[in-house]
Amino acid sequence: MLKKKVEEICNRQVEREGYSSNLYLAMAVWAETNGYPGVADWLYAQAEEEKLHMLKFVKYINERGGKAVIPAMKKPVSEYKSVENLFQEVLKHEEFVTASINEIVALTLEEKDFNTQNFLQWFVTEQVEEEASVRTILDKVRLVGKNNMYQFDKDIMGLRAQATNSPATA
Ligand code: FEO
């Protein structure tokens, strides 16, 4: 049985993963309507992954005798200055999610909830990979500059394929 405190913080993560999914959807819409179909595809796929992350928490809470709460939708930012600006926001958001997962790990250690701590290990690994892949993309965006954005947009699909082949991505 989940302790109330752990259930609450896991439900906070349900909200954050759900928001991540909507945020990436809003970003995908921006990319698709600004002539970056490759970036949009990457973001649509990312939005799907975040939905799966949310579901992992939902199922875990329910399995352990708690009750998952599906939150109201918060409207994500939908305007970006550039592709670089968009990926800076992705990185900032992923760093926020990493900190959030780490807070849950810290609480489970405090509460001696080793089952939840074990469940969270997948997310700890996933966050390292997500941050690394966004940093790789950001480096690439900075290198190509405005002139080669067309090629960058095509290349990003290759980066996506690499990320989906990694073990922590489900
Ligand atoms: Fe589910 Fe990208 O954090």
| Domains, the chain | 4-169 (1.20.1260.10)
Residue of 74, 39, 48 whose CA lies nearest to 150 = 39
CB 79 within 8 A of CB 29: no
- Band (pLDDT 50/70/90 cuts) for residue 113 is very high
Q: Which atom of ligand 1 is nearest to the CA of 54?
A: 1
Note the pLDDT tens digit of each residue in 133-160.
999 999 989 888 766 777 778 788 767 6
Atom of ligand 1 lying closest to residue 97 CA: 3
| d(CA 122, ligand 1 centre) in Å | 11
46 half-sphere exposure, CB direction, 13 A CA radius: 33
Q: In the prediction, which pLDDT does 169 show?
A: 45
Kindly give the number of the ligand 1 atom that is closest to the alpha carbon of 53: 1
**Model pLDDT for residues 154-165, shown as the tens digit of each residue:** 788 767 655 555
Question: Which residue CA neighbors atom 1 of ligand 1 most closely?
Answer: 50
- Indicate the burial class of 15 (C-beta count within 10 angstroms; 0-12, 13-18, 19 or more): middle
Query: Taking CB atoms and a 6 Å cutoff, what residues make up the pocket around ligand 1?
Result: 17, 20, 50, 53, 94, 97, 130
| Residue minimizing CA distance to atom 2 of ligand 1 | 94
| Rounded mean pLDDT, 108-116 | 98
pTM of the model as a whole: 0.90
